[in-house]
Amino acid sequence: MKPTVALVGRPNVGKSTLFNRLTKTRDALVADIPGLTRDRHYGHGRVGNKPYFVVDTGGFEPVVQDGIMHEMARQTLQAVDEADCVVFIVDARIGITPQDKVIANHLRQISQPVWLVVNKSEGMQQSIVAAEFYELGLGDPLAISASHGEGVKHLMELVLEPFEVVDDATLSDHPKFAVVGRPNVGKSTLVNAILGEERVIAFDQPGTTRDSIYIEFERDSRPYTVVDTAGVRRRGKVTEVIEKFSVVKTMQAIEDCNVVVLVLDARQDVSEQDATIAGFVLETGRALVVAVNKWEGLDVAVRDQVKRDIGRKLNFLEFAKFHFISALQGKGVGDLFDSIDTAYKAAMVKLPTPKLTRALQLAVEKQQPPRAGAVRPKLRYAHQGGVNPPVVVVHGNALEHIPDSYWRYLEHTFVKMFKLQGTPLRVQFKRSDNPFDSQSG
């Protein structure tokens, strides 16, 4: 699982600047995910072959006893508790402040590794800049400039060095699926119905699940792993500190799994938060099954309206299978497994290069890419570039001129030709380096 790095420090030391640098650098996997309050962002980045989560916390004012700054301090402490390591940021141009000393005193007492970073050091002699901060007792200070990028890559290489690179989702040899959704839609009840026993707490109170719970089981002699996740509310509804950070665990569970089961509540309208969760699943490329829960007792007219509402608001999930279930009564739960198995198989599919190339040729014969002035892109052959989700790499010339509409056409064509149900598929273009290839046609 990806390690989580928390960025902490008093206000205005450059935490958000460093966060943006970490999540938007050229060799990062960019995904800037707004957090659950205006003060916090979650994102994920990559240094070399090591991915990680990063949490940008609000300004840490530990001496404040009430008000918003006090609440932000409490949230920061929770972020520190949940993180695998902490980057403590101080300001090179201001020097050590009383707040820095209080924060350092707390961080010296935690078990996680702490990296002391002296930001805004551009144009300054690093050894002199760092010397003052040895007083904080957190080891060797590292001088960086988040705004200019100086020393940032070296910092993250040091931070991530103790962590191994394991892509659990790709390495899994059996379906590992996460049950996600807003609080109180019946996720834990569904997990209990799947397992046939009371393995996780389920009662009518939003936010019961505080962490992601991994449970291994067998069904029809086939192994599975199910993950019961904490509910993710929209930011205005989140009040408890511990619940605010459950989103990190849910994000980790989604990326850690092969398949996601998104649970919706048939008795509530599809919300913006439902669409946001679905969008994050799509962004990560995970296979998806949608379970519309609490279907029991609804009359025909209401059921028709629910289906129309879902179809309109979640139309970008056309690749996913929808099930209308009652987790409480166990109705329709067994049918989920056919879709989970199908989605897992599609996500992990192996596509031979000759068949992919032939599918590409058929797609081009049916509809050629449009010209861009005097140039028409030429698509020559395709091969598979990855799984979970399946990635098809198309080689050719002038591929930079291919419009998004044709990109989507190819994606839909490959999905249809190879009968891939339940998983998104991604097409990447790679330009040929042959100088003798024609650039037009």
- The reply to whether 441 sits in an annotated binding site is no
Query: Residue 93 and residue 350: Cα distance in Å, rounded?
Result: 55
Helix (H, G, I), strand (E, B) or coil at 160: helix
- The reply to whether 15 sits in an annotated binding site is yes
- The reply to whether 301 sits in an annotated binding site is no
- The reply to whether 122 sits in an annotated binding site is yes
- The reply to whether 105 sits in an annotated binding site is no
Strand partners, 433: none
Quick one: residue 416, left, alpha or beta (phi over 0 = left, psi -120 to 50 = alpha)? alpha
Work out the burial of residue 227: count CB atoms within 10 Å of its CB; fewer than 13 is exposed, 13-18 middle, 19 or more buried. Answer: buried
Work out the burial of residue 349: count CB atoms within 10 Å of its CB; fewer than 13 is exposed, 13-18 middle, 19 or more buried. Answer: middle
Q: Which helix (H) or strand (E) holds 423?
A: none
Phi/psi of residue 74, nearest 5 degrees: -65, -40
- The reply to whether 230 sits in an annotated binding site is yes
- The reply to whether 114 sits in an annotated binding site is no
Strand partners, 263: 291
- The reply to whether 182 sits in an annotated binding site is yes
Q: What DSSP designation does 188 have?
A: H
- The reply to whether 57 sits in an annotated binding site is yes
- The reply to whether 76 sits in an annotated binding site is no
Query: Residue 8 and residue 106: Cα distance in Å, rounded?
Result: 12
- The reply to whether 206 sits in an annotated binding site is no
- The reply to whether 58 sits in an annotated binding site is yes
Q: If you search the block for the tokens 């992919």, which residue do you land on?
A: 356
- The reply to whether 120 sits in an annotated binding site is yes
- The reply to whether 232 sits in an annotated binding site is yes
- The reply to whether 229 sits in an annotated binding site is yes
- The reply to whether 187 sits in an annotated binding site is yes
- The reply to whether 14 sits in an annotated binding site is yes
Query: Residue 142 and residue 255: Cα distance in Å, rounded?
Result: 31
- The reply to whether 93 sits in an annotated binding site is no
Work out the burial of residue 66: count CB atoms within 10 Å of its CB; fewer than 13 is exposed, 13-18 middle, 19 or more buried. Answer: exposed
Contact in structure between 427 and 392 (CB atoms under 8 Å) = yes
- The reply to whether 231 sits in an annotated binding site is yes
- The reply to whether 228 sits in an annotated binding site is yes
- The reply to whether 183 sits in an annotated binding site is yes
Query: Residue 376 and residue 395: Cα distance in Å, rounded?
Result: 14
Q: If you search the block for the tokens 């962004």, which residue do you land on?
A: 283
- The reply to whether 43 sits in an annotated binding site is no
> Which residue ranges make up the annotated binding site for GTP?
9-16, 56-60, 119-122, 181-188, 228-232
Question: Residue positions in the annotated binding site?
Answer: 9-16, 56-60, 119-122, 181-188, 228-232
